Amino acid sequence: MKTLHCFFVKNFKFTFLRQNLLYIHGRQRLWQLFLVTVFSLNCTTTCKATEIIVNNSVPAYHYSLNEVRAMFVMRLTQWKNGETIKVFVLTDDHPVHKSFTKNNLNMFPHQLRSIWNRLVYSGTGTAPTQVSSLEEMQEAISNTPNAIGYLDSPSENSKVHSLDYQ
């Protein structure tokens, strides 16, 4: 196996292999489990959770993750009550947008951009409306009927509410 990167911590040698595997050389298995746990906890605490919010004109239904993903990739264009969905997103390089696409939609920002570009350039659809800040996002969703978007934390605005999905 080809070694890509090695580093040492006290008596342990960590080796990253080509298949993105971590092989730990050492005597104590307990330390290995401890270190793996610490690394995994560190990864989960650095990820920011985002809240999907909608305008109060949107009826409170329960949506699946696939339905929410379809809304943001512009495949699902109408709410369950028949009204047209108006999607707002942040710019591609915004940290909240990156977190939202990875953690909420389970895809990468470039994949989302590629889907939108394909819709626009083929003439089969439109891209969502881009806003440049979280304040602008909250204002746009609260003032646009049937709007959906996301914020880095729950909104205190009375004109919007969180979308229930799983």
pLDDT digits 0-9 by tens, 113-136: 999 999 999 999 999 999 999 999
Q: Which CATH number fits domain 51-165: 3.40.190.10, 3.40.1160.10, 3.40.50.970, 1.20.120.790?
A: 3.40.190.10
Token pair of 151 as six digits: 């914020």
How far is it, in rounded angstroms, from Cα 48 to Cα 150?
A: 12
Residue 165's pLDDT band, with cuts at 50, 70 and 90, is: confident
Q: pLDDT class for 49, splitting at 50, 70, 90? A: low
Q: Are 58 and 146 in contact (CB under 8 A)?
A: yes
> Where are the chain's structural domains?
3-46, 51-165
Q: What is the pLDDT of residues 72-127, one digit of tens each?
A: 999 999 999 999 999 999 999 999 999 999 999 999 999 999 999 999 999 999 99
Residues 6+ apart with CB under 8 A from 123: none
- Is 147:88 a contact under the CB 8 Å cutoff? yes
Q: Is the pTM of this model over 0.85?
A: no
* Number of CB atoms found within 10 A of residue 24's CB: 16
